Amino acid sequence: MSQQNVHYFPGHMSKAIKIISGFVKSVELIVEIVDARAPLSCRNPMLTTLAPQKAWILLLSKEDMADPAVTKQWLDYFGKNGVPCVSGNLKKEKFVNILNRVASPFIAAKREKEKRIGMKKQPVRVMIIGIPNVGKSTLINNLRGKKVAAVGNKAGVTRAEQWIKLSDDFTLLDTPGVLPMNYPDGAQAIRLALLGTMREEVLPTEELSYALLGYLKENYPSILMNRFGIEDITGMDSQIILQEIAKKRLLLEGPNLSETKAAYLLIKEFKDGLLGPISLEIPNA
Ligand SMILES: Nc1nc2c(ncn2[C@@H]2O[C@H](COP(=O)(O)OP(=O)(O)OP(=O)(O)O)[C@@H](O)[C@H]2O)c(=O)[nH]1
Ligand SMILES: [Mg+2]
């Protein structure tokens, strides 16, 4: 995606970091969620500084919206870098089973240690962390399931200190850590805006749509052609494509085709997943 100047000020970075470091102290395992469509762009390297000794699982959420071939490349990429990693659709799969599987080496090591020092088996204290909109609350609800939901229903319980027992192996801190985003470079800001993790006002819609069109033209041309009934987009510039979309969807501004409305429509359809599974970031080999 093209590099542009982005005026972006996350603000409250240090406040968020302070709150998260407080929580991080009381957990043993962190599940960091990133959007499978741009996993690297969703990471905040500051987390490593915040929790240097913690065990870690990277969860690529919204797998159903990402390009499966690219998701596989990402799983290989993180795996090679020694990060236990898994992808999933948090709205469909029962994640506690997946957690059991990916965390099994960690559980085994903990049990071994407990046995060695003659300690009773304790569940692992887990915390969910990630930048806005990646699926933290969805994952907590998914993990809670029906059986444990009642635990959370006690009136007057301070959410900030609530633990939910998931199984003999896991207890979940019922508060997600909302990580601030990086100061992103242009391409990263565009990805984050398209994923809905960053406020939309930060980037003008038409600029965003041009970036998306440029990327789709290069990586997913058939998706564009099929969705909007455009015969051949080879060599077609983004402005003309927007006009084509406006024509096909009858998007008018007075008597004229509206490129602005076409830009909004394109981005909305992308966000709603109507264009099909698309990844916005591909790992460098
Ligand atoms: N298709 C799909 N949608 C998902 C998945 N996980 C979460 N979502 C959707 O993504 C949106 C954001 O999910 P949340 O769980 O609210 O994200 P969050 O990280 O808690 O967001 P904040 O509280 O704003 O930081 C919601 O519309 C969810 O339904 C997934 O795996 N697949
Ligand atoms: Mg949330």
Indicate whether residue 65 lines ligand 1 (CB < 6 A): yes
pLDDT digits (tens, 9 = 90+) for 234-269: 889 999 999 999 999 999 999 999 999 999 999 999
Q: For residue 98, what pLDDT band results from cuts at 50, 70 and 90?
A: confident
Q: Which of 26-35, 78-87, 91-100 has the lowest mean pLDDT?
A: 91-100
Return the closest-CA partner of residue 178 out of 134, 139, 125.
Answer: 134
Count Cβ neighbours within 10 Å for each residue of 240-274 and write b for 16 or more, e otherwise. ebbbbbbeebebeeeeebbbebbbbbbbebbeeee
The mean-pLDDT minimum among 5-9, 11-15, 37-41, 130-134 falls in 5-9
Q: In this model, does residue 171 exceed pLDDT 60?
A: yes
User: Counting ligands in written order, which one lies closest to the CA of residue 91?
Assistant: 1
User: Would strands 124-130 and 85-87 be described as parallel, antiparallel, or unpaired?
Assistant: unpaired
How far apart are the CA of 141 and the centre of ligand 1, in A? Answer: 11
Average pLDDT, the chain: 86
pLDDT attached to residue 53: 78
180 in ligand 1 pocket by Cβ < 6 Å? no
More confident call, 277 vs 178? 277
The whole-number pLDDT of residue 247 equals 95
258 CA → ligand 1 middle, Å: 31
Q: What is the mean pLDDT of residues 182-202?
A: 82
Residue pointed to by tokens 């501004």:
253
Q: Ligand 2 mean position to 16 CA, how many Å?
A: 14
Q: Are 96 and 139 in contact (CB under 8 A)?
A: no
Q: Chain-centre distance of CA 32, in angstroms?
A: 9
Q: CA–CA separation, 252 vs 261, rounded Å?
A: 8
Band of residue 152 on the pLDDT scale cut at 50, 70, 90: very low
Q: Is 277 in the pocket of ligand 1 (CB under 6 A)?
A: no
pLDDT over 50 (residue 146): yes
Tell me the mean pLDDT in the region 23-50. 90
SS3 for the chain is CCCCCCCCCCCCHHHHHHHHHHHHCCCCEEEEEEECCCCCCCCCCHHHHHCCCCEEEEEEECHHHCCHHHHHHHHHHHHHCCCCEEECCCCCCCHHHHHHHHCHHHHHHHHHHHHHCCCCCCCEEEEEEECCCCCHHHHHHHHHHHHHHHHHHCCCCCHHHCEEECCCCEEEECCCEECCCCCCCHHHHHHHHHCCCCCHHHCCHHHHHHHHHHHHHHHCHHHHHHHHCCCCCCCCCHHHHHHHHHHHCCCEECCEECHHHHHHHHHHHHHCCCCCCCCCCCCCC
Ligand nearest to the CA of 196: 1
Task: Give residue 178's pLDDT band: very low, low, confident or very high (50, 70, 90).
Answer: confident
Q: Report d(CA 22, CA 29) in Å as an integer.
A: 14
- Report pLDDT for 39: 97
The bound ligand whose nearest atom lies closest to the alpha carbon of 128 is 1
Ligand 2 centre from 198 Cα, in Å? 14
pLDDT tens track for 70-80:
999 999 999 99
Give the per-residue pLDDT at 46: 79
Q: Which residues pair with 165 in a beta bridge?
A: 171
Across 9-23, 107-121, 152-166, 169-183, which has the greatest mean pLDDT? 107-121
Q: For residue 274, report the distance from its CA to the centre of ligand 2, in Å.
A: 23
Domains along the chain? 13-178 (3.40.50.300), 204-271 (1.10.1580.10)
The dihedral sign for the CA sequence 271, 277, 280, 281: positive
The pLDDT assigned to 5 comes to 38
pLDDT in tens, 43-71: 988 787 777 778 889 999 999 999 999 99
Predicted pLDDT at 19? 79
What the block records as the tokens of 8 is 């972006």
What is the bridge-based pairing of β-strands 252-253 and 163-165? Answer: unpaired
Whether 106 shows a pLDDT value over 80: the answer reads yes
- Taking the CA of residue 176 as reference, the ligand 1 atom at the shortest distance is 20
* pLDDT at 181 (0 to 100): 78
Residue 227 · residue 275 · CB < 8 Å: yes
Cα distance between residue 136 and residue 178, in whole Å: 8
Residues 135 and 37 sit within 8 Å (Cβ to Cβ): no
Q: Please give the average per-residue pLDDT across 198-221, as a whole number.
A: 88
